[in-house]
């Protein structure tokens, strides 16, 4: 008679599966560390090439923007761009590879809740972004002064920016069924939003309506706040920027959790 009271499926563990969450996080971190020349060294070289092209080849090295040399204005934006693009690539590529190779079941079968999956992927993507950002920062500092004026601002916007793109990458990976799909997201959404965020210029030079359009881009606020941490100047409101990033990350996190909970394009 006691068997009648047993559920027809295994009971999930009560509370947080810390071991499973840590294992998935560690797996994702080790995945990008194993190919560090591609995932860490390459973004640094690309960022340094951008710095060289815009300051030397285009002759802008002597220009002054917001009271600082153009190289010092440009460098923080390039660091943030490297951070966020790699945070996106980490989570999106992991999920798409698992789908294409047919081993996504290895992620779905363990007793991990949708929230634990969301946290593990977001944290691993943000970790890659921060690692790439730190290495790029060191590389940039060899060629232009790059000392933080407000370290807490650098830390906050660095973490928030990396987390936002890690969540976007997770959403993109869940939606995509093949590499062409995630490439389309990168080429038509992520890259344009990053390049139009004020990375290479001050939006104060933009006339209306382009100035107001720039203020609608969440990427602008992470670039602007991160740059403020270095040069002590922001083109927009720091309070608005922090609020936008917090709200955006909350919405992206809830959407990611919801899709994991439904098994959207993950379960057949």
Residues 156 and 242: their CA atoms lie apart, in Å, by 9
SS3 at position 216:
coil
Query: To which H or E segment does residue 17 belong?
Result: none
Residues 11 and 101: their CA atoms lie apart, in Å, by 29
* Of the candidate ranges 51-55, 135-139, 226-230, 258-262, the one whose mean pLDDT is the lowest: 51-55
Question: For the segment 93-132, what is each residue's pLDDT rounded down to a tens digit?
Answer: 999 999 999 889 988 888 999 999 999 999 999 999 999 9
pLDDT band of residue 243 (cuts 50, 70, 90) is very high
Task: Taking residues 171-195, report their average pLDDT.
Answer: 93
The pLDDT of residue 11? 42
Among residues 90, 76, 7, the alpha carbon closest in space to that of 47 is found at: 76
Chain centre to alpha carbon of residue 52: 24
The pLDDT of residue 61? 63
Please report how many Cα atoms fall inside a 13 Å half-sphere around the Cα of residue 203, on the Cβ side.
27
Q: β-strand 68-69 against 64-65: which pairing, if any?
A: antiparallel
Residues 225 and 227: their CA atoms lie apart, in Å, by 5
pLDDT band of residue 206 (cuts 50, 70, 90) is confident
Torsions phi, psi for 38 (to 5 deg): -85, -40
As a whole-number percent, the residues of the chain with pLDDT over 90 amount to 71
Question: For the segment 4-42, what is each residue's pLDDT rounded down to a tens digit?
Answer: 444 443 445 457 899 999 999 999 999 999 999 999 999
The pLDDT of residue 249? 98
Residues 3 and 99: their CA atoms lie apart, in Å, by 38
The average confidence (pLDDT) of the chain is 90
Residues 19 and 168: their CA atoms lie apart, in Å, by 25
Higher-scoring residue by pLDDT: 206, 262: 262
Alpha helices in the chain (DSSP H): 18-33, 36, 42-52, 70-101, 105-108, 114-141, 151-175, 179-185, 191-195, 210-215, 218-231, 238-262
Taking the model in full, what pTM does it have? Answer: 0.91
* Of the candidate ranges 119-123, 210-214, 229-233, the one whose mean pLDDT is the lowest: 210-214
Reduced to 3 DSSP states, what percent helix, strand and coil does the chain have, rounded to the nearest 5? 75, 0, 25
Task: Taking residues 47-65, report their average pLDDT.
Answer: 81
* Of the candidate ranges 13-27, 83-97, 162-176, the one whose mean pLDDT is the lowest: 13-27
């Amino acid at each position: 008679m006691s068997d009648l009271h047993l559920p027809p499926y295994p009971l999930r563990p009560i509370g947080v599966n810390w071991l499973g969450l840590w294992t998935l996080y560690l797996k994702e971190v080790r995945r990008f560390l194993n190919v560090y020349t591609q995932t860490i060294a390459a973004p640094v070289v690309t960022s340094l090439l951008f710095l060289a092209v815009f300051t030397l080849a285009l002759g802008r090295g002597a220009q002054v923007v917001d009271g600082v040399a153009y190289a010092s204005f440009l460098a923080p934006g390039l660091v943030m761009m490297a951070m966020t693009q790699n945070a996106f690539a980490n989570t999106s590529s992991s999920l798409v590879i698992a789908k294409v190779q047919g081993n996504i079941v290895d992620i779905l079968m363990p007793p991990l809740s949708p929230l634990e999956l969301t946290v593990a992927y977001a944290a691993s993507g943000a970790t890659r972004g921060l690692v790439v950002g730190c290495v790029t920062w060191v590389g940039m500092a060899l060629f232009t002064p790059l000392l933080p004026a407000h370290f807490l601002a650098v830390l906050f916007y660095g973490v928030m920016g990396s987390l936002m793109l890690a969540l976007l990458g997770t959403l993109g990976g869940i939606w995509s069924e093949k590499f062409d799909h995630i490439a389309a997201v990168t080429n038509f959404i992520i890259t344009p939003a990053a390049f139009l965020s004020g990375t290479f210029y001050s939006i104060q030079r933009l006339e209306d309506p382009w100035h107001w359009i720039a203020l609608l881009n969440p990427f602008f606020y992470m670039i602007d706040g991160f740059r403020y941490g270095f040069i002590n100047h922001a083109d927009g409101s720091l309070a608005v920027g922090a609020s936008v990033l917090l709200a955006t990350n909350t919405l992206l996190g809830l959407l990611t959790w919801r899709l994991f909970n439904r098994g959207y394009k993950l379960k057949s």
